[in-house]
Amino acid sequence: MTISRKWLEALGYDLAAAEQSVSFGDASQSHVARVVLLDCFGLSGAEEAEVECVAHTLPESYGLDGIIGLNYLCRFRKVTLDFGDSVLTLDRGESVVPSSA
């Protein structure tokens, strides 16, 4: 999961104090970004505690403040994305514990 630095700072996260960082690259350059542990993250009431997040601001031309990651989505039994209706459905079903493999 990725959220822009400005939003994380606005929410009170101290990025300078983050002990973990991650390196990654895109088509034009490499990046190093801080990793923070969100106390809580949710979409439409589907809240989860302790979700790791990369503090990285995407290019403004993307029009995005972040990207929902599999580290959040895998906490649900079924994830459905209906492009036609622009709807994301998160189904908890039975309790899911992500595998450590």
For residue 30, give its domain range: 2-75
In this structure, the number of other CB atoms found within 10 A of the CB of residue 89 comes to 13
87: in domain = no
- Please tell me the total count of domains within the chain: 1
The amino acid sitting at 60 is E
CATH number of the domain residue 62 falls in: 2.40.70.10
pLDDT of residue 23: 92
* 64 lies in some domain: yes
Within-domain flag for 96: no
pLDDT at 97: 56
In a domain, 94, yes or no: no
Is 68 within a domain? yes
**pLDDT class of 83 with cuts at 50, 70, 90:** very high
**Residue 75: partners with Cβ closer than 8 Å, 6 or more residues away:** 48, 96, 98
Contact 53, 1 (CB under 8 A): yes
* Residue 18 included in any domain: yes
What mean pLDDT do residues 65-89 have?
92
pLDDT at 100 over 70: no
Query: Would you say residue 42 lies in a domain?
Result: yes
pLDDT number for residue 20? 94
Per-residue model confidence as pLDDT tens digits over 5-20: 999 999 999 999 999 9
Give the C-alpha separation, 7 to 29, whole Å. 23
What is the C-alpha separation between 13 and 7, in angstroms, rounded?
9
Global pTM value: 0.76
**18, 55 Cβ separation under 8 angstroms:** yes
